[in-house]
């Protein structure tokens, strides 16, 4: 599934499946997000090799990238089953947008693409297990795309700036 899309403020990106050769372009934005310690529980000191093994994993994980016409990687997401076997009809996804592309509609384009991809892969719902409560832009985006908060993990995330903060579990049917 590949789609070229113009975001709400005219950002032209091609969303396509990630390829092994993409990692050198994805790593800087991936590392920037993880090293900030504000949205993902991954080790901020994670090496490129470890990040690549996690992010470009084989199916049932699928990874996509958002690339500008000039070849700049501005976003990526990974779609996986939320659980194994009897829970694998519910998808889970993780998203990253380069700091210079935030607020320009890239996250919304990736989110809409992901929902379409999950449907195409036969998922019946999507669940996010750890949306950090200080990540206001993501919470607003997911609510606008039909997700609801179904639970909260009190002080479940050690934010690099704010200390221990809550995480929401969000869900929507497809």
Which pLDDT band holds residue 10 (cuts at 50, 70, 90)?
low
In Å, how far from its chain's centre is CA 73?
A: 14
Q: Provide the edge-to-edge strand list for the sheet that holds 12-17.
A: 3-6, 12-17, 62-67, 73-81, 90-97, 125-132, 163-173, 148-159
- Structural domain boundaries of the chain? 3-124
The predicted-structure confidence for 15-58, as pLDDT tens digits, reads as follows 999 999 999 999 999 999 999 999 999 999 999 999 999 999 99
Confidence of residue 3 (pLDDT cuts 50, 70, 90): very low
| pLDDT tens string 61-83 | 999 999 999 999 999 999 999 99
Instruction: Report yes or no: 62 and 78 within 8 Å, Cβ to Cβ.
Output: yes
CB atoms closer than 10 angstroms to residue 30: 23
pTM summary value: 0.92
The pLDDT, as a whole number, for residue 98 is 96
CATH classification (class only), 3-124: alpha beta
pLDDT digits (tens, 9 = 90+) for 12-27: 899 999 999 999 999 9
- Per-residue pLDDT, 11: 79
- Whole-number Å distance between alpha carbons of 48 and 76: 15
């Amino acid at each position: 599934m590949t789609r070229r899309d113009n975001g709400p403020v005219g950002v032209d990106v091609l969303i396509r499946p990630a390829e092994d050769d993409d990692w050198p372009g994805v790593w800087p934005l991936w590392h920037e997000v993880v090293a900030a310690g504000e949205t993902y529980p991954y080790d901020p000191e994670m090496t490129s090799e470890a990040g690549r093994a996690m992010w470009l994993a084989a199916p049932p994980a699928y990874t996509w990238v958002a690339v500008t016409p000039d070849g700049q990687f501005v976003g990526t997401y990974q779609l996986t089953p939320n659980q194994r076997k009897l829970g694998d009809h519910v998808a889970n996804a993780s998203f990253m947008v380069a700091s210079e592309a935030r607020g320009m509609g890239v996250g919304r384009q990736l989110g809409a693409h992901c929902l379409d991809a999950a449907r195409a892969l036969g998922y019946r719902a999507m669940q996010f297990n750890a949306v950090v409560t200080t990540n206001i832009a993501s919470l607003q985006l997911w609510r606008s795309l039909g997700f609801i908060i179904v639970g909260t993990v009190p002080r479940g995330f050690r934010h690099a700036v704010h200390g221990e903060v809550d995480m929401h579990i969000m869900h929507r049917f497809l």
